[in-house]
Structure 1
Amino acid sequence: MIGLNALLEQESGCQPEVCGLRLIESAHDNGLRMTARLREFEVKDLSLTQFFGFNTETFSLAVNLLESFLSKMDVPPKQLGCVGLSCFYLAVKSIEEERNVPSATDLIQISQYRFTVSDLVRKEKIVLEKVCWKVKAATAFQFLPTLLFTHSREFQQKALL
């Protein structure tokens, strides 16, 4: 298990930019800009992790990558599906065993999006550049067991006193 200090150090460089997230939260739904509602729909689409039987950690990393990217880039709503699937695919390739990683073609088909493998690869590269190639980000999923373990030990120590 990674220690709390190590996770905090890793997290500092991987968090979405607050000002970018505030822009999304304050945007009005006019079909031209990213909104909180569109972001929520895309996060729901990342539930492909359940379809494939992937780790919860994969979902958590995909959401982290998506939010980091959206906080740095003004993504037109029509490109959101490709961005979301790119973040998902990066997370899958980062967390899951190689033998369980679907092909890009299969992933696009199953997700029912209308873009090509080259579109997906191009978006992956853009996402990687914007998150400074930090795919192994500290996520809420990693913090939870560490915090529970830390608090459990503190509780046990207090009980012994």
Structure 2
Amino acid sequence: MKFAEPLEGRKLSVLLENAASREAKLWKVYVPKKPSNQDTDISPAQRDEAVRWLADVHHQLKLYPETLCLAVSILDRFLSAIKARPKYLRCIAITCFFLAAKTSEEDERVPALRELVSSSKCGCTPSEVLRMERIVLDKLGWDLHTATPLDFLHIFHATVFSCKAVRLSGVLSALDRSQHLALLTQELLHCLSHNALLPVRGSTLALALVTLQLEKLCPDWLAVTADLLRKAQIVSSELIGCRELVSRCLSTHTASLPPNTVYICQPLRPPPPESCASLPLRRKPSTKRKVEQMDVDEYFDGIKRLYNEDGPQEGGSSPCPALQPVTMS
């Protein structure tokens, strides 16, 4: 696969490598257990409720999507490191949100702590948030600079659109790319409130969202996906399982553009005759970094089994539920 600009391709590769390195260093799977005592353990449902509440606060304050993604990342890292009581969950969540805002937003956009506590109705005082802030920072080693799923989503999306060989069936033009990324971001934010995806790395979650869209828009999406898998060093079986989880999470979600979106009318153009160029089955590993070799045919077979395309099976049932299409308006 050839990039439109070699320098652009190298920059994206460096960004992906740095993000993967940060993720490998700081990411730790958070698997919430079923609480043994309702008063002493935070349940998966309570965690999801806290994330949805943060999403409402984020929407009310109109902050960057990066702020919400980082807040959820800090929250999950903290909950995986300590055992907290449910009555402190909102105080912990709003503290993580405040830390994320101070990290991601410009100074003039960071909400004042007193106003944040008042508008969010978190049920705690500013002094309690400040005390909790010190606890969170101590438990996380004062290191909040982690790679979020949104970071990987931006990198994968830019990588797909910087490739000359990719032809998205004439559906998306250069003017539509930001809108397409906005819809993917909405889907990602929706997935963050589902604890079923907590065992999944952010890089795998982002790649699953991108490839689900590629499947609908690119005739040769499997070849593009295989190339992204090699670049990100993600195991194909993990991606297949994540795609199924993401499809279930998005089955009841309808992404939409913001109400102030400006639509540009363009005449329809027929898709270009050429399709995505075929990728070689093997690629020589880089001298700087060993890249996991993957048989493209093996990955294709995994996708076929997932979609039950190998032929009818006994009983007429597929090994797993069919993927639900993601609709966009």
Pairwise same-fold verdict (TM > 0.5): yes
Q: Is 1:14 paired with 2:26? A: yes
Matching residue of 1:46: 54
Partner residue in 2 for 1:70? 79
| SS of residue paired to 1:26 | coil
Q: Which runs of 5+ in 1 are unaligned?
A: none
- Alpha-carbon offset, residue 29 of structure 1: 6.4
Secondary structure at the aligned position of 1:27 is classed as coil
Any gaps of 5 or more consecutive residues in structure 2? 1-11, 167-222, 224-275, 279-329
Could you tell me how far 1:133 is from its partner in structure 2? 1.2
Candidates 92, 110, 115, aligned match of 1:101: 110
Report deviation, 1:137.
1.3
How far did 1:116 drift?
1.6
Is 1:110 the counterpart of 2:119 in the alignment? yes
From 138, 145, 149, the equivalent of 1:129 is 138
Structure 2 contact 90–123 (Cα < 8 Å) conserved? no
Contact 1:128 1:134 in 2 (8 A): yes
CA distance in 2, matches of 1:113, 1:146: 34
- Do residues 144 (structure 1) and 156 (structure 2) align? no
- Higher helix fraction (1 or 2): 1
Amino acid at match of 1:118: S
1: CA distance, partners of 2:146 / 2:64? 15
After TM superposition, the runs of 4+ consecutive aligned structure 1 residues lying more than 6 A away are none
Name the CA distance, whole Å, in 1 between partners of 2:122 and 2:95.
Answer: 12
> Which residue is 1:5 aligned to?
17
Of 32, 41, 53, 1:33 maps to: 41
Q: Offset at 1:155?
A: 6.9
The CA deviation at 1:135 is 1.4
Deviation at 1:153, TM superposition (A): 4.7
Q: Structure 1 residues 12, 70: closer, same or farther in 2, change over 3 A?
A: same
String of CA shifts for 1:111-160, please: whole Å, max 9, x gaps. Answer: 11222211101111111111111112100000012122334456727835
How far the C-alpha of 1:102 sits from its partner, in A, is 1.4
Task: Give the CA deviation at 1:25.
Answer: 3.4
TM-score by length of 1: 0.88
SS in 2 for 1:69: helix
1 CA distance for matches of 2:126 and 2:46? 23
Q: Contact (CA 8 Å) 1:14, 1:131: kept in 2 or not? A: no
Q: Which whole-Å CA distance do the structure 1 matches of 2:122 and 2:72 have between them? A: 18
Instruction: For 1:8, give the aligned amino acid.
Output: A
Task: Kindly provide the amino acid, as one letter, of the partner of residue 21 in structure 2.
Answer: E
Q: CA deviation at 1:45?
A: 1.3
Aligned-residue RMSD, C-alpha: 2.1
Greater Cα offset, 79-88 or 26-35:
26-35
In the superposition, the TM-score normalised over structure 2's length comes to 0.45
